[in-house]
Amino acid sequence: MSLSEARYHDLVDAVQESVEDVFDDTSLDVDLENSGGVLTVRFDNGSQLILSRQPALRQLWVAARSGGFHFDYDEGSQLWLCDASGERLGELLSRVTLEQGGEALEFEDI
């Protein structure tokens, strides 16, 4: 069953807020900007991590130095999963934060 538009936006809002909270609770020096449904994380070295909503597809897209990734929400696990690899969003965020920011952060339950 496909997500309703309202539920989709609620889920994306919640996950973007959770990601912001993880960064806010660390000593990692990043700039966060959430505007127009796009969360941009700017690292000290100039690289960026971008989480953007794709409402027509009901997906969450992530752009990182290592590439672009598309996530679908899985109702069974209540997690965002990469449509190509099945990787959890939280696992990808931990990996790219280490790659781009030099610090391993835990994005549990994301």
CATH assignment at residue 89 = 3.30.920.10
Is residue 62 within 8 A of residue 27, CB to CB? The reply is: no
Give the global pTM: 0.94
- In the chain, how many domains are there? 1
Rounded Cα–Cα distance for residues 93 and 25 (Å): 15
Tell me the per-residue pLDDT of 80-106, one tens digit each, with 9 for 90 and over: 999 999 999 999 999 999 999 999 899
Q: Could you tell me the residue range of the domain that residue 93 belongs to?
A: 3-99
Residue 41 or 1, more confident: 41
Classify residue 91: in a domain, yes or no: yes
Please state the φ and ψ torsions of residue 27, each to the nearest 5 degrees: -95, 0
- Give yes or no for a contact between 92 and 69, defined as CB atoms under 8 angstroms apart: yes
Q: Percent helix, strand and coil across the chain, each rounded to 5?
A: 30, 35, 35
Assigned domain for 61 exists: yes
Contact indicator for 89, 62 with CB cutoff of 8 Å: yes
Q: Convert the pLDDT of each residue in 42-73 to its tens digit.
A: 999 999 999 999 999 999 999 999 999 999 99
In a domain, 74, yes or no: yes
